[in-house]
């Protein structure tokens, strides 16, 4: 009987030891990615943006996208100013990676575009906007190729492709899939609606609509860590 208990105890110890490295590796991978992402304090990028939301028809947009950590975002389009809703359009990786203390869960491996990626789930220990983040990470390049973030505002899924700015974890292209409850565009963007009855009703009533769609952004170039001032994001708001 004693030998039986000793055998069972030894088996449990082995299982625990085998599990520890996986969780440890997942945590190390997350913190390494977060450190890399947070080296970018701000950027300015020339972009092309295509917004496709179920109840709207918007033209393709071109202009400059400004970002400052942690959550300041402004899009200055050719021909005018549009202030993007920062809570619902998380266009920067640093917005999708929980800060502070977190619990990291190893979710195994997956394949994206023929590439093996490490999947981890991240649960913030501190109460904040993000509830859960799921990241598909290219371990060799140390970048996230896909993210799925559940926040108090809803769920956002994002796919990213990289090019010459991969060393700063800045993508060449982002496709953001929106599934946001009670989503509402600010006035600076609603003025871009096509002039039809449906959109006119939305503009005049200001009512909220459930929103499903995509935002596709192509980044043509970046100017990184230029020292953008906070006041810049508060100017020309509408």
Task: Specify whether the CB–CB gap between 201 and 235 falls below 8 A.
Answer: no
Higher per-residue pLDDT: 166 or 92? 166
The first and second tokens of residue 75, run together, are: 């899009």
Average pLDDT of 130-150? Answer: 94
Residue 96 confidence (pLDDT): 76
More confident residue, 194 or 105: 105
Phi, psi of 38, rounded to the nearest 5 degrees: -80, 0
Q: How far is CA 129 from the centre of its chain?
A: 13
Enumerate domains of the chain plus CATH numbers. Answer: 21-51+58-179+212-220 (2.50.20.10)
Average pLDDT, the chain: 77
57 pLDDT more than 90: no
Q: Name, of 43-47, 69-73, 76-80, the range with top average pLDDT.
A: 43-47
pLDDT above 90 covers a percentage of the chain that reads 42
Strand locations in the chain (E): 42-53, 61-68, 72-77, 102-112, 115-124, 130-138, 143-151, 154-162, 171-183, 209-224
């Amino acid at each position: 009987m004693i030998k039986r208990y000793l055998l069972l105890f030894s088996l449990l110890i082995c299982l625990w030891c085998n599990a520890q490295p996986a969780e440890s590796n997942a945590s190390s991978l997350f913190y390494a990615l977060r450190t890399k992402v947070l080296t970018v304090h701000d950027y300015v990028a020339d972009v092309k943006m295509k917004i496709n939301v179920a109840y709207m028809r918007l033209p393709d947009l071109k202009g400059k996208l400004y970002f400052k950590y942690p959550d300041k975002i402004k899009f200055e389009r050719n021909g005018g100013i549009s202030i993007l809703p920062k809570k619902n359009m998380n266009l920067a990786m640093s917005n999708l990676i929980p800060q502070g203390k977190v619990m990291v869960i190893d979710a195994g491996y997956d394949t994206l575009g023929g590439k093996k990626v490490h999947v981890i789930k991240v649960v913030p220990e501190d109460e904040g906007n993000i509830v859960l983040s799921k990241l598909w990470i290219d371990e060799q390049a140390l970048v996230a190729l896909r993210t799925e973030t559940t926040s108090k505002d809803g769920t956002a899924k994002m796919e990213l492709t990289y090019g010459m700015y991969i060393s700063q974890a800045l993508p060449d292209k982002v496709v953001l899939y929106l599934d946001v409850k009670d989503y509402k565009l600010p006035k600076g963007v609603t003025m871009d609606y096509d002039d039809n009855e449906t959109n006119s009703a939305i503009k005049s009533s200001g009512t909220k609509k459930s929103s499903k769609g995509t935002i596709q952004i192509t980044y043509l170039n970046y100017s990184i860590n230029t020292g953008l001032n906070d006041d810049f994001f508060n100017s020309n708001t509408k």
